[in-house]
Structures are given as structure tokens and as C-alpha cells.
Structure 1
Amino acid sequence: MEMQNQIKEYVALYESEVRKLADQLRNESMPQLTEELFSEFETNGNRMRYEAVYFGRRKFLSVLGLASVIWHEKEDIQKLEEVIREICAEECWALPAHVRRKENPNWRGVIDLFASETGQTLAHITTLLKDELSEDVITLAQNEVKARILKPFIESKVPYASWEQATNNWNAVCCGNVGSAALLLMEEGTEKKKLLERLNYALEHYYLEGFGMDGACQEGLGYWVYGFTYFTLFALAQREYDPSKDLMASEKVNAIVHFQQKCYFAGGRTVSFSDGDSRGTYPMGLTCCLADQYSDIRFPDTSYVQKLDGDSCWRWVGIYWSWYWTHRYLDDVQNKKAEEPKPLEQSGACVLQDAQWCILRGAKQTAVIAKGGNNGEPHNHNDVGSFHYLVDGEAFLDDLGAGEYTKDYFSEKRYEIFCNRGESHNIPIIGDVDQKAGKEYCADRFELTKDRNILFSFAKAYGIEAQKVYREIWLDENTGDLTVCDYIQCRLGVTVYENLITRLPVSVENDSVVIRGEKHCVILHAEGRKGEFKIKTVEHSNHQGILENINVIRWEVCCDEPQNSKIGIADSKICLHITE
């Protein structure tokens, strides 16, 4: 009952924030998009200034749209009509980063993530408020959606763009938005039927194929939220429209549904492999929606839920459905149609075998999250064999997740950026060679033993003559202490380093490394070390474009040279002990 009351408090606060922000925006003018801002990405690769204005405009649309739906006040409706007219007058709904003006004469009509989102938003808002918005605004908005989104997609050959056959969130977002708009605006007939069949095929045969049977989203938890929200929205709307079509009814989707609850930890920490986020807030609306459908859904603590302003893109789908789905779930719980919300489990082990992830939980709210996988994954970082170590809500050994998205970040220069390189992860450095990018650079063994030991083999990830790279990780369930053992065979003369990453303060004391958190310290001991610990600080631009100082802990590992052998053997043991 406690969590149920917390969810009630959340939705009450959410509504008060909508009211307060709508009152503020009603007296403001929308920021203006300009050619100068649009061209910045083309000239210098910067996408943030244009997008700040673009999403600032979507803030007006989403907040005033929801306020109008909840309270139906004349002043909100009038301001919303002004906003809709301005959105419809935009030259292009797609972002500059997704448009190639020099190569595409039809660039103004490109359907990308945000053009499709804008179309779905206008279709939905004008449908919900069909009795309150003026007829000319409804006609204008719906005609724009048909002209910019539905008509170009319908008239295109398969694939409309690469996203129609992509196995990532682009597919779910764009197909989900096009499908949702079609269900709202298209008249019954052959054309609508064919469009829905095409979208179903794309979602089933491409988006869902991007997941293994374990349901893991290798792009990161934030991308799971992004793609699966739109997939769920369309799947449920289509099921209501035609009960014979149910995209949710498969074993794989059932596994995908339960992915989020495996990835949350104390302090709101989350799995941050690839372009993930180590402090990802979770969507209350989607979680409530899934809890309405599946009785074993578990909720992270409500203090880590995404707030109204938690999405810098101000997406309508997140903002509206966080309100609607949460209300519906609470009503269903009260009417005994759904079970009361359950908190996360605090212990145990979980293996996501297809993604090659393992999650172990122990005392003091500790967790170790380790991965094998390969270096050709969606939003890839060169991180095969890496892990992060959490204690009581703090990351003592970290995974940086997504860096700042720039033009270079998605170019051939991607692996020149610190957070995407092997050296920014908790993996050995062998012969001063970073891990290589590509699917062939992978782990060839990954398992969890009966004794809760995680075992890896990942020499292939380096693309050099490292004959063996074995790693074993063990988390003591009773103390939360962590042990990592590495065994590396390589050519004679090759230098092997251990390499660990943290955002927390680090010092070398009494032949050990001390990592200091707010609640605990972790003492790191290293067996098989040669020479001194070396601590260097690297400047990292995070996903929000904010510079952070990252501490890299590195030391050389003793490399034995067996007699009459051309092989060097590095045997390393790292022990991490928690103190108060």
C-alpha cells in the first residue's frame, strides 16, 4: 500500500507541475527557429543550439496540450491553438542532424524520430480535443500530418528509410508514430489496412529481432524506454482497433517487458553499458501500463521516477501517457483489476544470455554488472569484458555511458572519443592496444557458475596476438566485497595493465587504492602488480555536454616468462573491500 500511495502522490504532483508550467507558458512566446541555427550542424557539427529551440517549442505543445486535456480551460485552448499554428508553419519537422539538404531536394518532408513524433502529437491532441479546438486548427494540423507523415510513407517503396528495417529504437519510434497517427486519422479501407500490415511487419521482423530471447536492449536502458514506449502505444492501440492483431502476445515481448526491473539499483543507479545512463530515471506511465498487463512487474523507488521536465525533448507520448496510464493503473488497482505495485528485488543473480550480461546483487545494496558481448553492438562502446560495481547507490567502478552527441560521435572518429574507447572501461590494456570495433571482436565464453562466479574469455576483443584473456568475477553476497581475477597469455615483451574507472575521489594509501564515496570507502588491493599505481584524470563531456573529471586507475601487471616459451603470462587479482 505504501508504494501505491507514493504513486498517487506522484501523479498529484505531476498535475500540479503541469498546471504551474502551463500558466507560465501561456504568457510567453515560443522561441523561434532560424536558418542560422539549422545550418550549424552542417557547418560545425553542433546540434545542441538548434535542438534547444526545437524542443523548447515542443514543450509548449505538450504542456499546453496536456493542461487542455485535464482542465479544458479556455485560456489554455487559445494558447494551444497559437502553438499548433506555429508548429504547422515550421519549414521542417525533422532535425538537422537527420537531414541531408545538399543530397535531398525533399529534405523538408523527411520523416525522422521527431517529425514522426510531431505528427503523432498533433494527430492525438486534435483527436482528444476535437470538441474544443477550432475547426480550422484541427483541419490545418491533421492535413499537415497527412501531407508530411502519412502520405510520404504510404507512397514510398519499402523501406521508406533505413529505420523501417532497423533493429533498434528508430524502428519502434517512427513506425509506432506513423501507425498511431494512421489509426487516429485514416479512413477505413484498403489503404489503411495495407499501411498497418506494413508497420506490423517492420516491427515484428526488424525491431523485435533486435532483441534476443532474454529481452535485453543492448543500446541501453534509456533506449529501451524510448523504443518500447512507442511500440507499446501502437501495439495496444492496434489491439483495441483489431483484437486479432496483438504485438504484445509473444514470449520475446514478455521478456522485453521485464527488462527495466532488472536494470535498476539502489540510489536510482542503472545499467549504463553502451550509450546508457548511469542514473536513468524511469517512466511511471509505461511502468504502470505494463503492470496493468503483467502481474509480476516491479517498480523502482518512486524517488527515481522521471518528472515532468525530465525529458529535455518534451515528447508528448511520454508526457501525456505518464499521466493517463498512471491514472488508469491506480483505478484498476482500486477496482481489483490489477495487482498492487511491488518494489524491486534486492538480492539474487540474473543472466541475460543473449546480450551476455550478468547482474549479481549482495549485502549493503551492492551490485556488480558485467558484460561479454561484442564490439559491434548498437550504440557500441569497445567494452567487452567490462563491469561496474555499485555500493549503496554509488558507483565505485563506473561505466560512463553516453557521451555528448556530436557529429564526430556518429562518424569514423567515434572511437577517438574517450567514453567510447576501451581505456574508459574496466578492462585490461594489453600492449597499449585498445579493443577493436566490430562484431568479430567479442567474448567467446560467458557464464555464471553455480557458485555465482562470472567467467569470461575475450581475447578476440583486442584483435592482437593475445592468446588468452580470462576473467573471473565474484561478489560476496554477505559482505558485498568484490574479487576480480584476470589471466592473460600474450607474446613475450607485451606489457599488460589493469585499468579501472571511477568518478569518485581516489588516492593511493599504504600500497592500496582508496575510492571515497559519500557513505562508504572501498579499499582496492592488487596482487600481481608491478610498480606503482598510477592515477590520471581525464576530462569527459557527458551526454548533457557537461565536462566531468574521470579518474583512471592503472597499474602494470607482472608478466612471467616460462622457460623455453614464447608466451608471457600475466596473472592479476583485484580485491575490493567496503569500509564505512
Structure 2
Amino acid sequence: MTIHPGWNWTADDIEMAMRHGAYSGLKYICRWKDRLADTLNDPDYASFWSDLRVYEQKASTENLPELSFSLYRQFRETGERQAYELAYFERRGRLAALGLLAAASPSAERLQLLEDLIWSVCNEPTWCLSAHVPEGKEAGAREHIDLFAAETAQTLAEMIILLNDVLDQRVVRRVRAETESRIFTPLYQEQRIYGWENAEHNWSAVCSGGCGIAALLLLEDEHLRAKAVQQTIHSMNAFLKGYGMDGGCAEGVGYWVYGFGFYTYFAEMLRIFSAGTLDMLSDPQTRAIAAFPGNIHLSGGVFVNFSDSRERETIPPGLLSLLAERQQIQVHLEHRIPLLAEDPCRRWAHALRNILWTNPAVYKRGNEAQMPAVPVYLENLSWGIARGVLAAGEQKEMTAAFAVKGGHNEEPHNHNDLGHFILHGGGENILCDPGSGEYTQAYFAPGRESIFQIGSQGHSVPVIEGAGQQSGQQAEAKVLHIKRSFPEGIEAAFDLTSAYPDAPTLARYTRHLSWNCPPGASEAELFLEDYYQWQQPSDPCKEEHLTEKPPVVEHFMSRIYPVVQEAWVQWEGRKAVVTMHYDADLWDAQVEEVETVDHDHLPLTFYRTALSLQQTANEEGNSRNYTVKETWCRLKFSVHPK
């Protein structure tokens, strides 16, 4: 019998199911070494193994970075977390690399380096990031569980099972003791409450999944292990509640990888340890979630990246291969084994399963099939995505695509971006989303809207009477309609009035977008119409202030510096060109250069094109004519090959 994770079932049910599968599950993990060894001389994996040897070389010649108090204190005192995390993830990178190398090709020197690394990780005062330890709770940080404490527990647990026959047993016992005291005792025996247990986002899946896998592997008490699984499933159900039946991830594709990745990793381990009885991927909702990356893939490995995601995210090929086989999804991405160094967090779970699970045939089948041209509407997220193929001359083709979002401004990893859109051509987001900024204390604190990547000032949405969009769930995009238009287009209309409560004379604001990319056409078109309805100022004393700024400034974001001419603006990408036509009698166009840093603290420049509504004096000479009740902004965008 297959048991779905949403059903109510007891620890006794779980215990009985695992009684028949736990022993074979442990033997299954020991066989992972054979698969790792088989890839050592495979050309497809050559760069991967070469990258791991760089970490091994550093481990043998350079001191392990210390997680000092000087680094730990920086987050609370300055809001910066980068220095601590660079040291932390360098330690995890060396640990993962040596563990994989030792499993594939053990040697006395390699094992000694690994044992020293494991011992050092066991000596860490906390397995958490400094930014995740609650203020004033440093004394209990050893038993605090965050994403990375859970990942560390899983890594060490899988490592000592995989290498049990070659590791010094004192190291094995130390790992068991540390995992017991840091994870199992507070979480499963003392039943301490952790905020992530009921979170409807990635934390519930990653934290519970990492701890749950460690429990499956290391807990010997059958009843306690069953209770641990039951507790893990509770948190996994909370995670699934963060998804609608459309399978969309409000946090973006990067957090889909993280959250649903660890959901899948635990689900597959539980299936193995229950001899196939407990299959969490049999839940129908998980198939829709598994399809999310494909739904938002535009072309050339570039994704819709609303919220805190990159345009180019590395989707672990092991994860995609497993989901393709279990959930019958197609994969339209390049087959490539990513390097451990490409993951800023150096995750053992992804790297190991990329070797174990990746199936090149999945990628071949997907790339031989055409990407679906039917527009995608993720109803729960209010995201619309449409792709089309343009004729590019000399029998070549180029993908053009469009994406728009609704939702509300209190989503996980929220950006104030209601009505924001992306225009894509030739493997590049030309009108783009700024993605994720650098994570600092301020990034998650009150007033975060002032940060470029978070506030509406960093998105292709208007500033109305000097006001940007407000945060909070009450600021929502009311969907007037999102529908497919003939033949492969999409139309979306939102009422965005509630996002601008600080615009004093705004009565109503709606945005209507209509995208069309006919098959075989040489050009795709987007028509945008913003409609503003005005009312008299409620406070006459504010009229003078209102005249200081244009009533409307429309913003359009790109990493490409545009050419501005009267009545049109043009952004020229590597393979495609986007042109915007506007009414120069009503709007003035200017370009602002915005310098910022990305998620990895690397410098990044955006160019914000601003269309400012020209102000017309009334008979009394006031620059704002309050007798005007309505304003329209009608724009045409075209996407065509260079």
C-alpha cells in the first residue's frame, strides 16, 4: 500500500513499513561507492572530479578556516554575514570533496584528511550560520537547528554509513554522538519547538529533510525512528501547503531547488527504507511541483526569476533525472554535471546525487522534443508565461518569451513587484528582474523596501505621485483576467490600486498586457496599457507638495544600456532587440544608471529607463491640472532577432 504524506497515519504504521526496509536501505547506501567509482574515468565527470581534487589539495596544504568569534560577531554588530559564511562553506566544501573522493577511491592519506575534517566539524560550537542563531541565544546555539545544521547532520550521517568500513570507528562514534546531542535529542526526544517545523517555505523541507535522513540512517531505536519520520512528514506537509495545485514556487526557482530538492531527497530515502511502501512522491501535487522549472524555463537555461532567484540557476541534474523518471516531466536543459565550486554553499546532498542519479537519456529525450508553446498560467501565483519561436533568417530560429506576475507583497522572499514583467529574446532576459541582492541583516529587516532588488524601484512598475508599492499582503494584484489569446499569446490584466496607498490622489490603477508571438513570425509584440484614475486631493495643503513630482513615472529595468530616441527606446541584446514605442508628446524618456551588488557581493549595473508624464499647466498656472480625471500610458514593445 502506498501511503500519501497528507494522510493521517501513525508511528506504528511507519515502524512496521521500515522494519522490512531499513536493513536493505543501509546496504543500498553502501553500494553508492560502486557508482561513484564507476564515474572516475568517465569523461562526462572529469571536470567534477578534477574540481574535488582542488579541494583535496587545499585540505592537504592550507589550514582549515577557523569559525572565530571575530567572524561570528560581525552579523550582529554590522549586519554583514559574508566573511563567516565564506569560512563556513569552505569547510563544508572540503568535507564534501574529501568524502566523495574517499568513497570513490580511498587511500590512507585521503582518509586521514577526511577524518580530521569530520573531527573539526564535530568541534564546531554550532552547525548553524551566525545569521540564523537568535540574538541572545548564543549559549544554546549548539542545539539550535537551522538549514545548515540539518544539512551538516545529513552529510555526516550519509558519510559515515557510506564509509563505515574504512573510517576510524572513533570518528564514526563521534559523529553519532554529536548528531544525537545536537539534533536527535532536542528535536525528537525533548520535542523542542523550532519555528521552521510549520513553515510553508523551503525551511520546513530542508531542515526536516536533513534531520529526517540522518534519523533514518543513525537512529537504532525503531520506535523513535518512526516518530522522527512522522515528525518529518508533518513538516513536509507544511512545506507542501506553501504550494498551490499549480506547483508554483513563490520563492523562485533557486528556492524550488533547495526546498523541493530536500523534499525529494528525504522522500526517496524514506521510500527505500520502507521497501517502497511510503512514497511521498506519489502525492499528485508533487507532480505539478516537479514541473515548475520546465514551466518557467524561457530558453537557453534562463528562467523567470521573480523573487530571490538568479536568471541562470543550476538545477541539479540528479534531482531532475529522478523527477523526470518518477513524475514523467520533460527536461529541456543542457546535460552537464555542475562542479561543487559552482554551488556557493558546497552542498553534499546535491553533489552526491548528481553522480548517483543523473541520467543523460532524460536530457536527450527532452532536447529532442520541442518546448511546449502553449502559454502557462500558474493560477495560485498569478504568473503568466508565454514562449514563441521567431524566424531569424538562414533557417535559424530564436525563442522570444514574456512573463508577468501578480500575487501580493508579502510572499516568501518578497519583492514589491506586482505587475512586473520580463521580456526575453535569444537566451537573454532583456527587460529583466534584478534577482536576489546580497543577504545582510538589513535585507530581512523592517525598511527592506529601500534595497534596490526588493523595492518597486528595482522593477518594471510605475512610481505614482512619488510613491512606490507598499509591502504587505493587503498590497495585492487583483486579477481581472489572465487568458490565452490566439494563436500562442497571453493577456493579463490586474488592478494594482491597493499597492499604492501612499499615492494621495490615485483612485484606481490597472495594468493590461497583451503578448503575441505567432508561429514563424519575425517579430513578437507586447502591448502594455496602464490606466490611472484620479480624485481631488483630500487635503488641499498637500497640493503644493504634489506638484513637485510627476504624477506618473513608468520604469523599465535592463542590464543593457538603451538607445533613446524621440518616441522609441531600444535595448540591443546578444541575439535579440527589444524596441519600446511611446507617445513623445505625453512622456519624457531618461535613463538612470544604478550600481548595486548581486547575491554574491559582485558589482552589478542596471539601467532604469524612466518615462515621466509631462505636466500640463491649467488656467491658473499650476503645474498639475487636477481637473484631469484619467491618464493612460499605452506602449508597444517588439522583440525581433538582430
Please report the TM-score for the alignment, with normalisation by the length of structure 1: 0.91
Would you say the 8 A contact 2:309–2:436 is kept in 1?
Answer: yes
- The one-letter code matched in structure 2 to 1:296 is I
Separation in 2 of the partners of 1:566 and 1:395? 37
Give, as a single letter, the amino acid of the residue that structure 2 aligns with 1:482.
L
**Equivalence for 1:462:** 500
Aligned length: 562
Alpha-carbon distance between aligned partners in 2 of 1:101 and 1:395, rounded to the nearest angstrom:
40
Q: Which letter does structure 1 place at the counterpart of 2:83? A: R
Query: Which residue number in structure 2 is paired with residue 71 of structure 1?
Result: 105
Partner of 1:342: 366
What is the aligned partner in structure 2 of residue 485 from structure 1? 529
Aligned equivalent of 2:256: 224
Matching of residues 34-73 of structure 1 within 5 Å: 34-73=68-107
- 2-structure distance, mates of 1:460, 1:519: 38
Counterpart CA distance in 1 for 2:332 and 2:637 is 33
Deviation at 1:165, TM superposition (A): 0.6
Tell which has more relative contact order, 1 or 2 (C-alpha 8 A, sep 6+). Answer: 2
How far the C-alpha of 1:579 sits from its partner, in A, is 5.2
Spell out, residue by residue over 1:424-447, the C-alpha distance to the aligned partner (whole angstroms, 9 max, x if none). Answer: 111122212111111111111141
* 2-structure distance, mates of 1:250, 1:412: 38
Matched, 1:552 2:614: no
- RMSD of aligned alpha carbons: 2.4
Aligned counterpart, 2:230: 197
SS of corresponding position for 1:298:
coil
CA 1:91–1:105: 2 relative to 1, 3 Å: closer
Aligned to 1:5: none
Q: How many Å separate the matches in 2 of 1:481 and 1:348?
A: 16
String of CA shifts for 1:379-427, please: whole Å, max 9, x gaps: 0000011111111012210101111111000000211111111121111
By how many angstroms is 1:500 displaced? 0.4
Question: What CA deviation, in whole Å up to 9, does each residue of 1:275-327 have, x standing for no partner?
Answer: 11112122111111212313333141236x6332111111111111111112x
Partner residue in 1 for 2:280: 247
Q: Secondary structure at the match of 1:551?
A: strand
CA distance in 1, matches of 2:450, 2:462: 18
State the one-letter code of the partner of 1:441.
Answer: A
**Once the 2 structures are TM-superposed, how far is the Cα of residue 556 of structure 1 from its aligned partner?**
2.3
Corresponding position: 1:290 with 2:334: no
CA–CA separation in structure 1 for the residues paired with 2:381 and 2:460: 18
In structure 1, C-alpha distance between the alignment counterparts of 2:292 and 2:346, rounded to whole Å = 24
Kept after mapping to 2: 8 A contact 1:91/1:108: yes
Pick one of 402, 412, 418 that aligns with 2:452.
418
Secondary structure of the structure 2 residue equivalent to 1:282 = coil
2:346 equivalent in structure 1: 314
Aligned-pair distance for 1:19?
4.0
Distance in 2 (CA, whole Å) between partners of 1:559 and 1:212 is 44
Alignment correspondent of 1:116 = 150
Q: 1:501 aligns with which of 539, 557, 560?
A: 557
Q: Shift of residue 16 of structure 1?
A: 3.7
Partner in structure 2 of residue 3 of structure 1? none
Corresponding residue for residue 177 of structure 2: 143
Structure 1 equivalent of residue 4 of structure 2: none
1:356 pairs with one of 370, 382, 395: 382
Which amino acid in structure 1 is aligned with residue 254 of structure 2?
A: G
Q: Distance in 2 between matches of 1:490 and 1:378?
A: 32
Q: Quick check: 1:448 aligned with 2:492?
A: no
Which letter does structure 2 place at the counterpart of 1:173? V
Q: Deviations over 1:527-574 (max 9, x none)?
A: 37524211111112211112212111011246899x997722324223
The match for 2:12 is none
Is the CA contact 2:318–2:355 (under 8 Å) kept in the aligned structure 1? Answer: yes
1:500–1:553 CA contact under 8 A, matched in 2: yes
Contact kept in structure 2, 1:229 and 1:286, CA below 8 Å: yes
Query: C-alpha deviations, 1:150-193, integer Å up to 9, x for none?
Result: 111113446x2110110010000000011000000001422221
How much does 1:9 deviate?
Answer: 5.0
Q: Using the alignment, how far apart are the partners of 1:299 and 1:19 within structure 2?
A: 31
Q: 1:278·1:400 contact (CA, 8 Å) conserved in 2?
A: no
* Alpha-carbon separation, structure 2, partners of 1:526 and 1:509: 10
Aligned residue in 2 for 1:516: 572
Q: For 1:291, what is the secondary structure of its paired residue?
A: helix
Structure 2 CA distance, aligned partners of 1:115 and 1:476?
48
Offset, 1:230: 0.9
Does the Cα contact within 8 Å between 1:529 and 1:557 map onto a contact in 2?
no
2:268 counterpart residue number: 236
* Cα distance change of structure 1 residues 513 and 244 upon mapping to structure 2, 3 Å threshold: same
Q: Aligned partners of 1:531 and 1:203: how far apart in 2?
A: 51
1:250-399 to structure 2, matched below 5 A, reads: 250-302=283-335, 306-326=338-358, 329=359, 341-343=365-367, 345=371, 347-362=373-388, 363=390, 364-399=398-433
Instruction: Structure 2: give runs of 5+ residues left out of the alignment.
Output: 1-41, 391-397, 537-545, 619-624
Per mean C-alpha deviation after superposition, the further-off stretch among 509-518 and 285-294 is: 509-518
Q: Is the 8 Å Cα contact of residues 426 and 641 (structure 2) preserved in structure 1?
A: no
Pair 1:407–1:113, CA change in 2 (3 A) = same
What SS class does the counterpart of residue 269 from structure 2 fall into? helix
| Conserved? CA contact 1:529–1:556, under 8 Å | no
The percent of aligned pairs where both chains have the same amino acid is: 31
* 1:433 paired residue number: 467
| CA distance in structure 2 between the partners assigned to 1:443 and 1:144 by the alignment | 48
- 2:199 corresponds in structure 1 to 166
**By how many angstroms is 1:101 displaced?**
4.9
In the alignment, is the contact (CA less than 8 A) between 1:291 and 1:341 conserved in 2? no
> Is contact 1:529–1:555 with CA below 8 Å preserved after alignment?
no
Structure 2 counterpart SS, 1:368: strand
- 1:481 is paired with a residue whose SS is strand
**Displacement of 1:10:** 3.6
Deviation at 1:12, TM superposition (A): 4.1
- 1:195 maps to a residue whose letter is A
C-alpha separation in 2, matches of 1:26 and 1:551: 46
Cα deviation digits, residues 493-513 of structure 1 (max 9, x gap):
871222101011222135421
Matched, 1:573 2:627: no
Unaligned runs of 5+ in 1: 1-7
User: Is the 8 Å Cα contact of residues 88 and 141 (structure 1) preserved in structure 2?
Assistant: yes
Contact 1:32 1:53 survives alignment (8 Å): yes
SS of match in other structure, 1:201: helix
Q: Distance in 2 between matches of 1:197 and 1:525?
A: 58
Tell me what 1:4 maps to.
Answer: none
In the TM superposition, residue 20 of structure 1 has moved relative to its aligned partner by: 4.9
Deviates more, 1:47-56 or 1:280-289: 280-289
Q: Distance in 1 between matches of 2:558 and 2:580?
A: 12
Q: What CA deviation, in whole Å up to 9, does each residue of 1:464-508 have, x standing for no partner?
A: 433231322313232233332222223368712221010112221
Q: What's 2:9 paired with? A: none
Q: Choose which of 134, 137, 144 in structure 2 pairs with 1:100.
A: 134
Measured in 2, the distance between the counterparts of 1:406 and 1:16 equals: 33
Report SS of the residue matched to 1:302: coil
Q: How far apart in 1 are the matches of 2:339 and 2:243?
A: 28
